[in-house]
Structures are given as structure tokens and as C-alpha cells.
Amino acid sequence: MVNGGVFIAVEGIDGAGKTTQVNLLADALRRGGETVVTSKEPTTGEWGQKIRASAMTGRLSPEEELEAFIRDREEHLEHTVLPSLEDGKVVILDRYFYSTIAYQGPRLGDVERLDRDVRALAETPDLVILLDVDPALSLVRIKQRDGAPNAFEQVDALREVRKVFNQLARMDPVIRTFDGSHSVEALREEILQVVVDETMREKRCAVSHGCQDVTHCTYKMAGTCAWWQLRQDLLPGGEPSAVAG
């Protein structure tokens, strides 16, 4: 559906640079004429606030923590994510259910079962951007930003979380991994290229079965392809490759 919603999640361990890249990507897509909604998990709702408070006072039990994340996500999907997607907007989340699997899975001791259970209760994104970074670097960033890590930001735990994220990336085709140690600007360019030439192309290309010949596309030549115009606005100077439908 050409004007359908686009769902993107940005994931990674604490200090990977997620929030910065969410904002940069949202700003770019808005410049291209898209209506963009940004949000994050945990949210600022009742359950999200309970989770956030636990980061400073001590983590909840594994079962309580998981329950809070699931309840928070249910409300988030119902009130923010799904209505925005139905309106044809681009939704970009700073963390989603992949973080629940990565952070709560090791504590519960069964990552694969949690993966199945959590996915069954959530909407699958069109794209997941995974910023992979060594915990040693992420903790340096956290200390520069906040002064001290919280209960979720301990180096041994972050190593386990990173391991799960990378495991998920090997199994899930919607996850694209980016090197989070790259500069902010380099990452912005790498992410934007993938979002525009892959995800937005799939959603906004005027040919319902995909672009087979970009050079000779009648929609492009007539100026009626929303994706081609977006690309011209955001990635000028380069031709995308043809994609068979």
C-alpha cells in the first residue's frame, strides 16, 4: 500500500546512540514530506514510569519487570503506534520488544521462549535498526551523558544484552545491524540510505510490485512516485539499483 504507515524501531544497548539517531532520522524524513511520530519504550505512562523508577531504585523482580514492560507496550500500541500507522504515518521507536527480549531474557533464563511470547503480543516493524557497540564504549558515553550508570547499565549485564541482540539479528530478517562506534554523522548517512532505498521504497514506490527499472519507470518520469521524490530530496546525486518485483 503506497500510502501505508511505516514502522521502524531503533535498538541497541544503553549508550549506543539510539535517541540521537531516532531524532536525526525523523528530521530527515520530515524534510522529505513524511509525517513522522517518534516515541520510546518504556513510555511515560503508568507502567513505563514504574520501570523508569526501578532503574534508579533497583530493578524489579524478573517477573514483575516483564509484566510491566508487556503492560506498557500494550498501551503504547493501542494509543500511539497502531493509530499512527493506520493514518499512514512513519512511526520511529526508541526501543521496542527486542529490548525486552535482550534485557529480560537473560534474567528469566529462557530467551527463546520469551522471544516467542513477546512477539505474539506485538506488531512486527518494517525495519529494526540495531546499533551494535561494545559495552566499554557505551559506558563511557553514559558517564559523559548522565554522570553514572543506572541499574540497567552494568557492564556484565550489557555484555549479555549485546549478545542477545546479535543473536536476534542473525535470525530476524527485519533487523539491520550498524556499527555504533561510527561517528554520529556517518551513522546518520548509513541509516538514511537503508531507510530510503529499502524500507521507504517498499512502502512508497508507485509500482505495487516494486521497481524493476528505475531509469525507465513511467511514474518516476511523470513525477508521480512518492518514493522517487523522497529519494531526490534526501539522497541526491546517486541512482538506486533496480529491484525485481
Task: Show the DSSP H helices in 35-183 as ranges.
Answer: 46-57, 62-76, 82-86, 97-108, 111-119, 135-146, 155-171
Report whether pLDDT(243) > 80: no
Going edge to edge, which strands form the sheet with 36-40? 36-40, 90-94, 6-11, 127-132, 175-179
3-class secondary structure, 51: helix
Q: Which of 72, 40, 68, 39 is nearest to 54 (CA)?
A: 68
- Domain locations along the chain: 6-199, 207-245
Q: What amino acid occupies position 17?
A: G
pLDDT score, position 57: 82
CA distance 10 to 239: 26
21-48 pLDDT tens trace: 999 999 999 999 999 999 999 999 999 9
Residue 145 pLDDT greater than 90, yes or no: no
Helix 97-108 × helix 155-171 angle, to 10°: 120
Longest dimension (CA), the chain: 60
In whole angstroms, what is the distance from residue 108 CA to residue 62 CA? 6
Q: What is the mean pLDDT of the chain?
A: 89
Q: What is the CATH architecture of 6-199?
A: 3-Layer(aba) Sandwich (3.40)
**Residue type at position 38:** T
**Cis, bond preceding 42 (omega within 30 deg of 0):** yes
**Using the 8-state DSSP alphabet, how is residue 175 labeled?**
E
pLDDT in tens, 101-143: 999 999 899 999 999 999 999 999 999 999 999 998 888 887 7
Q: Which among 25, 18, 12, 10 has a CA at the least distance from the CA of 188?
A: 25
Give 244's pLDDT tier (boundaries 50, 70, 90): very low
Distance CA 82, CA 86 (A): 6
Separation of alpha carbons 227 and 176, rounded Å: 21
Q: Are 94 and 143 in contact (CB under 8 A)?
A: no
242, 238, 22, 66 alpha-carbon torsion, rounded to 10°? 30
Task: Please write down the long-range contacts of 179-182, taking CB distance under 8 Å and 24 or more positions apart.
Answer: 179/132, 179/133, 180/12, 180/16, 180/17, 180/131, 180/132, 180/133, 180/137, 180/138, 181/133, 181/134, 181/137
